[in-house]
Amino acid sequence: MNPGYLPIAASDLATRWDWLYDFLIGLSIFFTILVLGAMIWFAIAYRRRPGLRTKYITDHHGLELLWTAIPTVLLLGIFVWGYAIYSEMATAPANAIEIRVVAQQWKWNFQYEDGKIISDKFYAPMNQPVKMIMTSQDVLHAFSVPNFRIKSDIVPGMYTTVWFEAKVPGRHQVYCTAYCGANHSLMLADAYVLTDQQWADFKRGKEIGPLPDAHAPLASNRSNSGEANSGLSDPPAVDRDEVSFDQAAPVSLVAQGKQLVEAKACASCHAEDAKADNSQLSGPSFVGLYGSKISLDDGTTAVIDDNYLRESIENPAAKIRKGFRAGQMPPYQGQVSESDLSALIAYIRSLK
């Protein structure tokens, strides 16, 4: 049984989250005692009995003003505090390691920048920001790691992201939390947070055995202090598969993307090389495209990111860049797999 009312806080953000949660618990206990205490007190003190006289009170403006104003101020304060932590959650640091996630009924696929794909578990280093860029092949799913206090829906047809910076090595439970059909409750995964040595081994392609459950470090341990730091000596869970990478030598996402651009003849309209003569090409150049701010022909602007590229590949007519014509490029909706989309985006992004 889990001894605490919260899971371990495995990141600094989770620790800050816990402060706000505990503040809300404290505030709730205070108001519950205040209101229900008054209710019970009145119910006993003014219980009906012979000779009891009531008092005719219809309102009291001062009191009503007070119990409107105080909650308003408190609630606005809570809102600001909650938004402050949320905006941290919403924006990943620029140097984050990226892992691409494709969720499907009832399986998780995690793909690294070097092209390696692992199912139903992923590996991440300690003390480094990690960003998950996620999409779904079928219905809604959601990526939830309670130890990091993060969660996001995974929506077919677009990318959503979450990020974390883990402070505690070991296994962290991952859940799908958006109902996705029959085996929803079996759509679990393991997040293995690795020490620096393990991470270096992992990057060299070495197998990392199953890791024990993560436990809270001594400093921020809130629930099971007796076992601090003993987590790594726990016996490994029995039902976890051995780690093995079935791909002999994975091809990096960028290289996969380059191959695709050739196979699909994207370069007959889009430039890959800024030095070549690109004057005859009818589409926007790939070079320096990612991250740039562009004007659209409806007068608005857009920043080129994963979701923009994805939409422009699947449905080019959705947003037309100023100076270009609609109808030049066929829509690729349903013709490019999720992993191919990831590869194409990675390649375009690499063309600085």
Q: Report 304-333 residues binding another protein (CB under 8 A).
A: 315, 333
E strand or H helix at 143:
strand 141-145
Q: Based on the number of CB atoms within 10 Å of its own CB, is 184 exposed (0-12), middle (13-18) or buried (19 or more)? A: middle
E strand or H helix at 339:
helix 338-350
Binding test (CB under 8 A) with another protein, winner from 46, 119, 225, 230: 46
Query: Which region, judged by CB under 8 A, interacts with another protein, from 74-82, 109-117, 282-290, 292-300?
Result: 74-82
58 binds another protein (CB under 8 A): yes
32 binds another protein (CB under 8 A): yes
The SS3 assignment for 296 reads strand
Nearest distance from residue 268's CB to another protein, in Å? 26
224 binds another protein (CB under 8 A): no
Kindly give the pairing relationship between strand 293-295 and strand 130-136. Answer: unpaired
E strand or H helix at 100:
strand 97-104
Beginning with the edge strand found earlier in the chain, give each strand of the sheet holding 121-125 in spatial order: 121-125, 188-194, 170-176, 141-145, 150-154
Nearest distance from residue 173's CB to another protein, in Å? 7
11 binds another protein (CB under 8 A): no
* Interface with another protein in residues 172-201 (CB under 8 A): 173, 175-186
36 binds another protein (CB under 8 A): yes
Instruction: Report the alpha-carbon distance of residue 117 to residue 111 in Å, rounded.
Output: 4
Cα end-to-end distance, the chain, whole Å: 52
334 binds another protein (CB under 8 A): yes
Binding test (CB under 8 A) with another protein, winner from 100, 121, 149, 349: 149
Query: Which region, judged by CB under 8 A, interacts with another protein, from 75-83, 111-119, 190-198, 282-290?
Result: 75-83
C-alpha 273: how far from chain center = 34
Are 174 and 240 within 8 A, CB to CB?
Answer: no
Nearest distance from residue 65's CB to another protein, in Å? 10
5 binds another protein (CB under 8 A): yes
Pick the closer one to another protein by CB: 126 or 150: 150
153 binds another protein (CB under 8 A): yes
82 binds another protein (CB under 8 A): yes
7 binds another protein (CB under 8 A): yes
Pick the closer one to another protein by CB: 63 or 248: 63
Nearest distance from residue 331's CB to another protein, in Å? 9
Are 118 and 245 within 8 A, CB to CB?
Answer: yes
Are 102 and 171 within 8 A, CB to CB?
Answer: no
Q: Which residue carries 């108001």 as its tokens? A: 31
20 binds another protein (CB under 8 A): yes
Are 129 and 93 within 8 A, CB to CB?
Answer: yes
